[in-house]
Chain A
């Protein structure tokens, strides 16, 4: 049971990090796309 909860927390953490990385990528690429 506790392993299941730990897995859920890890899943949430990974999702958070992935979302953060995605937002950073979008933010970085946004001005250069406008310049083209």
Chain B
């Protein structure tokens, strides 16, 4: 059987030569993110904004009509309402802004929407988030992302050198920021699941970075006479096959969630597909590229390179 080979063995590609282009690319997407955040902001879901969300399915498959639903709901005078198809033609997502007045008005509005729609529509899901909870979730979300970044930074600092930890955290922030940017530019709904997607992406990206760093650390000690540039490139090349294969398997899984996981998970998986791509990119072109700005101490040399079996060497 002929085996699939995504990456030829013993590649010797000068990745770091591309770091300037990569830097321009990163700058563009980060500026794009900031611009989009400034112009479009984020399309916060009710988790963060507060409000009402209903998922409806038309009971009459033939005459499911978004205009009919719209006119029905407009009679409620509920303020800002958005109605869109969700996954299938007969499924609709209705979002209603938070109502003026106290909590009772909010609850009353849900009941009103339910009562005018439940004859023609099956209410598949209804959610209400009060503004207090929304703000709390927002803060908790930011804390979670911050906490994750800091704990990862400390761990890498502890396991590697401080330069690695700085490079990793910049790469990671790059990924988080641009993932947020993706949501802003495409105006995808930014909700609790998005935070989960961002943190998982961060986990994936750091995983990828650590694998390359691990090899860099090993090669720094092995090739004392070579310069850093050579060592970094070699490390990227040596791990390239793994990087590609793991990205592909993870992407395969994610695309399958995207296509088969239903409408609820589609934005979630989209965020992670982006995250895997940008995470792989940043491990090489941000994390390792930043290492080139430092003159990292090569440490104690590994005595031999070939003849002694590796497991018998001293580390």
Q: Do chains A and B interact in one complex? A: no
